[in-house]
Amino acid sequence: MGELELLRSELLRCRECEELFGFEPRPISMGNSCAKIFQVSQAPSIHVHRSGRSFDDISGRKLRGKWYEISDETFYDPDIFYISSVGHCYPGKSKHQGDNPPPKICAQKWLKREIDVVDNEMFILIGKAAADFFFPREDFTDLVFSDHTINGKPSFVLPHPSPLNVKWFKDHPEFEKERIKDVRKEVHMMIDPLITE
């Protein structure tokens, strides 16, 4: 069993936050150690918690179809995308809008180790929680509209495609008009040679 397989077997058994959540956690991550793109978001939604498949929800459909312009098969190809998050489990519904923030211990315990064992060539960070983990104290919108590197690898920050994120998109129409085209181009340059018809 390889290093990633051992790590994932540990991760899937993790129940550290069960008391905090009030329900049984379901840790989720997908992909192989050779995946080209390491994608990090905030935490699984309730739909992903139920299905066990990352971005298996309305946000995922927008991300794949409208932003990346790729098929489900490409997105879920474990040699193309490694899909993880700051919090690996659905953290429960917030008393306000959306879901609770992911417990900070999760990224320290699991995400850092995943980054060490996945030999990716690009990072994509989705949402403020993921951006804050890699680029603490930096302005989120500035991060979205500029290019970065993580461990010497090209890295991009995207807003979360959630339908709850309406205000950010309204305030920054240039993202969907211009910026996402730049990111999409970089994604396709990375993955198109790997896609077989």
pTM for the full predicted model: 0.95
- For residues 80 and 192, give the distance between their C-alpha atoms in angstroms, rounded to a whole number: 10
Which pLDDT score, from 0 to 100, does residue 196 have?
60
Confidence of residue 197 (pLDDT cuts 50, 70, 90): very low
Confidence of residue 163 (pLDDT cuts 50, 70, 90): confident
- For residues 93 and 98, give the distance between their C-alpha atoms in angstroms, rounded to a whole number: 6
State what percent of residues in the chain have pLDDT above 70. Answer: 98
Q: Over 70: is that where the pLDDT of 137 sits?
A: yes
Q: Over 70: is that where the pLDDT of 85 sits?
A: yes
Residues 52-73, mean pLDDT to the nearest whole number? 95
Q: Are the CB atoms for 11 and 29 separated by under 8 Å? A: yes
Domains, the chain, in order of start with CATH, read 26-194 (3.40.470.10)
Residue pLDDT, tens place only, 115-127: 999 999 999 999 9
Residue pLDDT, tens place only, 106-116: 999 999 999 99
